[in-house]
Structure 1
Amino acid sequence: MNWGEVPIIENNLELLNDPTVKKHTVKSIWRFLTREMRAAAEALPAETVPGRVSSWSAEGMLARFYLTRAGVEANGASRNQSFLDSAKYYAQRVITQSGKKLLPNYGDLFKYPYDNNQESLFELQWTFLPGGPGYGLGNGAISHFNPSNEISAEGWGGDKAATWWMLSQYEGITASGDTMLSGRTLDRRLKETFMFPGFVYPEITRTVGGVDTKPYIVQYTNDASRNFANIKKYVVGQGKDIGIPTIEPQRYPQNTYMLRLAEMYLVYIEATLGNGTSTVDPQAVQYLNALRNRAGMPNYTDQNGAALPITLDLILSERFKEFAIEGMAWYDLVSLHYWNPQKAYDILNSQDRGFYWIEPDVRNAQANNWVIKKTPWANPPANPR
C-alpha cells in the first residue's frame, strides 16, 4: 500500500546467482500477502496467550486484506464481490468465535496497564524492564505524543494536534461558516483521543515547580498559537501515575495496537454495504450501534427509532474517529483509492488543516462547551488533485 509495484523476494539465496528481479503487480502482491496470511492462520494456535498472536489474529488480518483486495480487483468502481464476501466471513468468525470482546470503556484501551486486553488481536510488545537500562529502551512514541513534560517524563508533542477537519467529524460540534466550530459532543472518543482546554483527566498528575496537581485539567492560555487539541491517546501521565517511577524519556511501557476487534465490526459493516449506496442490514446496524454506544453515542436511528441507512461516508467517519492516532487513516484512503480514487481525492481536498484555537466556556476548570476559531494565519485546504 505504501510502494505500489515492488519485487517479491521469498528466497534471498536465489539472488546470489541472479540479482535481477522484476516487480510484481499490485494484484499479485495482494494475492501473495493473502496466501501468506492464510498459511499463518493455519499454522498458529487458536488459543490466545497474552503477548502472542493466534490464528484469530491472522483471520482478523485476512478480513482486512480481503476488504482491501475487493478494491484492488474492482471492475471499475464495483468492488470484487467474492472478496467482499470473504472479508465479511472472516470478520464475523473473529467477532463470534475468537472469544474477544469490546472493552466496555473506550478510554481504557489507551491507559496503563491495559496491554493485551480482551479487545486486542495484535499488539507490538515493547520490552520494558523497571530499573533497567534507560533512554530509548521502550516505547519511544509516547514522548512524541505527550504535549508537555509537566505531565510526563518527556513531552515533544506540544505542536501536534487534531486538524480542523478531524474535529468536524464529531457529532455535536457544528460549523458556523468556514471559520468557526462550536458545541460539544457526547462522543467519548474525542476526550480520549485529543485534549481540549477544560478536559479533565483523573488519572494524570501535573507537576509545576515541584507541586503536584491531580486530576489534570487541560489549561487555557491567551496564546492563540497554543490552544489546540493536543494528542491524548496513549498519553498515560507520569511514572507516579502508572506505578512505575523509573519511566524515562523515550521509554514508556505500553504496547502499540496493530489490530483491534473494533476493526472487525467496521470491516463487517463495510463488506455488507459492498457495492450498494447504503444498508440497513440488522447485523451491520447492531455492530455499528455497539461501537457508538461504547463511545457514549445513541443508536443510529431516526426520531421514531428506525435504523438510518449506513453509508460509506458514515463508515469512513466512524473509522477516522475510532482509530485516530493509530496510523489507520492513510491506509483507509489508499484502500479507497484502489477502487474510487475520486472519492479519496475529495476527502483529502476537504481536509482543512488550518491553524485554530479553542476557547472553553470555563477557563482552567472543567468546561462543557467550546468554540473553535481559525487564526488569522490559517492555511487553505490541501488540493492533491
Structure 2
Amino acid sequence: MKKIKILSLLGFAFFMQSCEDDLNVVPEDPNQISVEQFYSQDGAYTQAIAGVYGNLSLTGTLGPDNSNIGGVDAGTSQYGRVLWYLQNLSTDEVIWSYENDPGTREIQRNIWNSSNPVIRGMFSRAMFQVALANEFLRQSTADKLNSRGITGAQTLSEIEEYRNEARALRALSYYHLLDLFGKAPFNTEDDVVGVAGPEYNAQQLFDFVEAELTTILPNLKPAGTNIDGRLDQGFARMVLAKLYLNAEVYIGQNRYNDCADQCIAIIGSGYSLATNYLNNFNADNNTSPEAIFYIQADGLVTQNYGPTTVMINGQVGSIESNGNQFGVGGWGGALRLRKQFVQKFDGNEFNNDVRNTIISGVRDIEITDIANRDQGYILAKFSNISSAGVPGISTTFVDTDFPMFRLADVYLMYAECALRGASSATLPQAVTYVNALRERANNGSQIGNISQSNLTLDFIIDERSRELHWEGHRRQDLIRFNRYTGGNYNWAWKGNGSNGVSIPSFLKLYPIPQASLASNPNLTQNPGY
C-alpha cells in the first residue's frame, strides 16, 4: 500500500471524541477499553499519534458518513475539505453547483454568517485537532511513561519524536485558526480537560505558533527523512514561512526577511521540482520530490469526502461525462471555474502550459446561473490515476493526497519576499525560481520565461493562482494583496453579484461560530457579525 503505516493503525484513530460543545475530548464509547488499558498495549503510542494525524484525513470511526464533531455532518467537518471551501470556494477560482448543500451558497457568494455549518466545521475540526494533540501530550509525559513501565531507550526516543510532531500538528491548527478567524480559545496539555480556554487574539496566536515551532524544529527529523506522511523540519519551516509571509495581515508587522530565511532553508533541504507538474496531483502524488506535506487520502483506508475526493469527482463535467479521464465516476458537474481565473491563462505563452488544464469545449465562460452545470469552463488538474496510469482502488474515494505544502509555493514566496524588500532574497534569484516553474510548465521550453522587469507583485499574485490553484491558498493570497474585500478586484458572484461587487473589509475574517460562542463564554465575536 502506498500510504504510510500510521494509517493502517487507525483502530485508535479516534479513540477520543469531541463533545457537542467542542471543549471536551472524551472516550467515544463507554464500552471501549480504558485509557490505561489502551496505553498498556504494545505499539499504543504509535497508534495514538496516528489518531492525531488521522484527524486531518478522517471524520469518524464508522466510515465516510460518520463525524465525531457534534452539530455538523461528516462532509462538512472533514479538515481538508472545509479548509478548501474557506480558502478557495470563497474566491475567484471555483464555484459549486449544488447550492442546496448546507453552507456552500453563502461561502461562495461571500454572504456567510456565524451560523454557517462549513465555518463551524472548520473551527470545530481545528479545535478538535488541538484537543487530540493535547491529550496525546498528557498521556506521554515522563511520569506517565514511567508509571506504565515504559523504559526502553528506543521506545522513549520514538515517543519523544511523536510528542514533537503532536506539538507541530497543534501549531498547524492554531495557524489555520489565526488565518481564518483571527482568534481562538487557547488550551494546552497543562489545562484540565473540558475547561473553556481563554480567548487568544491574533498576536497571541502568532507568538505561540512561532515560539512552538521554533522550539521544536531542531528536534524534528530533517526534511525528507521521516516516514511518508509524517511531518519533519520542512513542515515546521513551511508553517513558519506562511506565518511570516502574512504577518502584516495578522499582526501589522513586516516579517518578509524571516519568511525569506525559512524559504532559503527549505529550498536547501533536498526538495526538487517534480519533472511533470501534474504528478503533484495524481494517485501517487505522495512520491513527488517537491511534496513537503500532503493530507493523506486512500480509497480503501481513509474513505471520506475530503478535498481531493470532492475536487476530482467535482471536476467531471456535466456535458463531458469525463470521469474515466480521472479514474472516478464523477458528480455531474459539481465544480466549475469562474471567468476571472480562466483569464489568468490568456496569452500565447500559456497555450502549451501544462498547468492550463482548463476544458472549454462548447461551454460559455460566463456563469449567469450557478445551478446550470453546463455554464462555465471546467478543470482537469487533479486525478485518481497514478503516474503509471493505474486507477485508484475506488471510483468514488480517491487515492490522491491533498497538497497542503509543496516546493513550488516556496519558490513563489521567495520571489514575493524579494519584491517586498527582504534583504536575504534577491531579485535575480527570484527570477530564476519563477522561470524554473515556467520551464517545468512548458516541458523545458523557455517560451514562458520572464525577465526581472516582468517580476512585479501584480505578476506574482496571478502566477500564484496559475501554479497553485485549488490548493488552499487563494483567499489568503488575495487578502495579502488587498484584492479580497473592497472593490479593487471583483469576480463572478463575489458579494452575491453575478459580475461581482465590493464586499466589506470585515469579511477578511470568518465569524466565530455561534455554537462555539455559546459553549465558551470567554470568546467574543469578530467585528461586523
* TM-score for both structures, normalised by structure 1: 0.68
Q: Deviations over 1:272-304 (max 9, x none)?
A: 11259xx97211111111112222252213xxx
- Change in Cα spacing, 1:138 to 1:291, as seen in structure 2 (3 Å) is closer
* Partner residue in 1 for 2:515: none
Tell me if the contact between 1:172 and 1:186 (Cα under 8 Å) persists in the aligned partners.
no
Distance across 2 between alignment mates of 1:269 and 1:137 = 31
Shift of 1:11: 3.5
Shift of 1:167: 1.1
Distance across 1 between alignment mates of 2:360 and 2:430 = 32
* Partner residue in 2 for 1:380: 499
* Partner residue in 2 for 1:228: 376
User: Is the partner of 1:382 in helix, strand or coil?
Assistant: coil
- Change in Cα spacing, 1:12 to 1:145, as seen in structure 2 (3 Å) is farther
Aligned residue identity for 2:212: E
Paired residues, number? 303
Within a 5 Å distance, the mapping from 1:77-226 to structure 2 comes to 79-80=253-254, 83-96=255-268, 98-129=269-300, 140-141=309-310, 142-147=312-317, 148=321, 150-151=323-324, 152-156=327-331, 158-172=333-347, 185-191=351-357, 194-197=358-361, 220=362, 226=374
More strand by share: 1
* Partner residue in 1 for 2:464: 319
User: Is the partner of 2:405 in helix, strand or coil?
Assistant: strand
Distance across 1 between alignment mates of 2:491 and 2:363 = 26
Q: Deviations over 1:90-110 (max 9, x none)?
A: 1011112x1100112212222
Are 1:330 and 2:480 counterparts? no
Shift of 1:349: 3.7
1:4 pairs, out of 144, 165, 182, with 182
User: Is the partner of 1:140 in helix, strand or coil?
Assistant: helix
* Partner residue in 2 for 1:352: 492
Within a 5 Å distance, the mapping from 1:39-54 to structure 2 comes to 39-46=215-222, 47-54=225-232
Distance across 2 between alignment mates of 1:235 and 1:243 = 9
Shift of 1:262: 0.6
Shift of 1:136: 6.3
Are 1:262 and 2:417 counterparts? no
Distance across 1 between alignment mates of 2:449 and 2:219 = 39
Distance across 2 between alignment mates of 1:221 and 1:73 = 44
* Partner residue in 1 for 2:169: none
Distance across 1 between alignment mates of 2:304 and 2:204 = 42
Distance across 1 between alignment mates of 2:395 and 2:246 = 39
Q: Deviations over 1:66-111 (max 9, x none)?
A: 111244333xxxx52xx21111011011112x11001122122222
Distance across 2 between alignment mates of 1:133 and 1:52 = 16
Within a 5 Å distance, the mapping from 1:268-283 to structure 2 comes to 268-274=414-420, 281-283=427-429
- Change in Cα spacing, 1:70 to 1:99, as seen in structure 2 (3 Å) is same
- Change in Cα spacing, 1:113 to 1:252, as seen in structure 2 (3 Å) is same
Unaligned 5+ runs, structure 2: 1-178, 367-371, 505-529
Tell me if the contact between 1:6 and 1:25 (Cα under 8 Å) persists in the aligned partners.
yes
Distance across 2 between alignment mates of 1:266 and 1:121 = 15
Percentage of matched positions with identical amino acids: 22
Tell me if the contact between 1:126 and 1:138 (Cα under 8 Å) persists in the aligned partners.
no
Distance across 1 between alignment mates of 2:376 and 2:406 = 28
User: Is the partner of 1:14 in helix, strand or coil?
Assistant: coil
- Change in Cα spacing, 1:235 to 1:348, as seen in structure 2 (3 Å) is farther
Distance across 2 between alignment mates of 1:270 and 1:110 = 24
- Change in Cα spacing, 1:43 to 1:160, as seen in structure 2 (3 Å) is same
2:209 pairs, out of 7, 28, 33, with 33
Distance across 2 between alignment mates of 1:237 and 1:280 = 39
Kindly report the root-mean-square deviation, in angstroms, between the aligned alpha carbons of the 2 structures.
Answer: 3.4
Aligned residue identity for 1:67: L
User: Is the partner of 2:465 in helix, strand or coil?
Assistant: helix
Distance across 2 between alignment mates of 1:54 and 1:135 = 25
Q: Deviations over 1:99-134 (max 9, x none)?
A: 1001122122222323231010001122444xx897
Distance across 1 between alignment mates of 2:440 and 2:363 = 32
* TM-score for both structures, normalised by structure 2: 0.51
- Change in Cα spacing, 1:104 to 1:138, as seen in structure 2 (3 Å) is closer
